[in-house]
Amino acid sequence: MAADGQGRAGLALTITQHAPAAESRGGRLRRWHLGVATVALLVAAYLSLAVGVVDIPVGDLLDPSPAQWQLLSLSRIPRVLSILMAGAALSVAGLIMQRITQNSFVSPSTSGTTEAAILGVLIATLVVPGESLLAKMVLAIGVSLLGTFGFLQILGRMPARDPIVVALVGLMYGGVIGAVTVFIAYQVDLLQLLEIWSSGSFSAAMAGQYEPLYLVIAVGLVGYLYADRFTVVGMGREFATNLGVSYRAVLNIGLVIVSVMAATVIVVVGTIPFLGLIVPNVVSLLMGDHVRRTLPVTALAGAGFVLLCDVIGRVIRFPYEVPVGTVAGVIGAAVFVWLVMRSAAGKEAHG
């Protein structure tokens, strides 16, 4: 046990010495900063409970009437919890994927993971239509995992790994899987159902429907336990092997975590485009690439971003609702273009 503890301490020290430090990316994050951010997110989530077609004054949230409590307990509280868990899960999944693939433009939405999960849900609907949501989620996770492994096989055979080129290849790969999914859905007249999974929305996140999302909390904790190893793997196979880290085992664990998180969110609420791409990149620009240091911040930022998109979607055309996937897609696309332009400008500056 002592030797194992010394090994972990040595690994953490090595990561601290080699990984880009937070101080070089805009200042050191202190614990009280994280605490303030957490409190701010919880306050925003609390206030968002008052937003909706049925008006519930903020003052009544602490002492609601029976009718108001029924609405809160059946719809609005599950919705807010779903938003926070889904936003954190997809952002953390993107962070882990970017580190283990050593590419800042790889995420569940640019590697075929999302499209494979949707295909898995469709297959589950056709093969086991009478099974529970949990059973369909298991099948979606399996297909998502296969799709992600397929992308890594393509990535391993690419002679050049320019981040932008890899992202484009991932988008094309996802497009192929998506085309197959649409073809199957068209043949069995399930295109309308496919639209639900392809456009993230929390309007159906109600008590009795959103509970599978709690799985992402457990999986996220496993990701945090492996955070230092993900950081080491992100430095390359040789570096990880020299430190005694099993590169292939950690890579596989990371892929399982990413697939479980992405598929779970898609089964319950649908896809939220660009979330796993832009949030980890912005956090990394500010704090560096140390996974253990950035993972909690990435989770908070992702949850806050989705909460903001959801509130915008509910008020921009009140009393109608714009799906959160649409709002996140518009904002995310703009941020993605900025990240690509920033990357290109950085390459030109370095010759």
Give the domain CATH number at 130.
1.10.3470.10
Q: What is the pLDDT of residue 96?
A: 92
Residue 120 resides in a domain: yes
Q: What is the pLDDT of residue 15?
A: 52
Residue 130 resides in a domain: yes
Residue 191 resides in a domain: yes
Q: Report the predicted TM-score, pTM, of the whole model to 2 decimal places.
A: 0.85
Residue 20 resides in a domain: no
Residue 260 resides in a domain: yes
Q: What is the pLDDT of residue 180?
A: 92
Q: What is the pLDDT of residue 161?
A: 67
Q: How many residues does the chain have?
A: 351
Residue 40 resides in a domain: no
**DSSP string of 30-71, one letter each residue:** PHHHHHHHHHHHHHHHHHHTT-SSS---GGGSSS--HHHHHH
Q: What is the pLDDT of residue 349?
A: 59
What are the tokens at 160?
Answer: 């050049």
Range of the domain at 119: 91-344
Residue 122 resides in a domain: yes
74-104 CB burial, b ≥16 within 10 A, e <16? ebbbbbbbbbbbbbbbbbbbbbbbbbbbbbb
- Indicate the helix (H) or strand (E) that contains 256: helix 247-269
Separation between Cα atoms, residue 264 and residue 75, nearest integer Å = 19
Domain count, the chain: 1
Cβ–Cβ contacts within 10 Å for residue 22, how many?
A: 18
Q: What is the pLDDT of residue 22?
A: 40
Furthest CA-CA distance within the chain: 66
Residue 25 resides in a domain: no
> What does each of the 351 residues of the chain score in pLDDT, given as a tens digit?
444 544 454 555 455 444 444 444 444 566 667 788 888 888 888 888 888 788 888 887 888 888 888 888 888 899 999 999 999 999 999 999 888 888 888 888 888 888 899 998 888 888 887 777 778 888 888 899 899 888 888 887 877 667 778 888 888 999 999 999 999 988 888 888 787 778 888 887 888 888 888 999 999 999 999 988 888 888 878 887 888 888 888 888 998 999 899 989 988 888 888 898 899 998 888 887 788 888 999 999 999 999 999 889 888 888 888 888 889 989 988 888 888 888 766 665 555
Least Cα distance to 138 among 128, 153, 148 occurs for 128
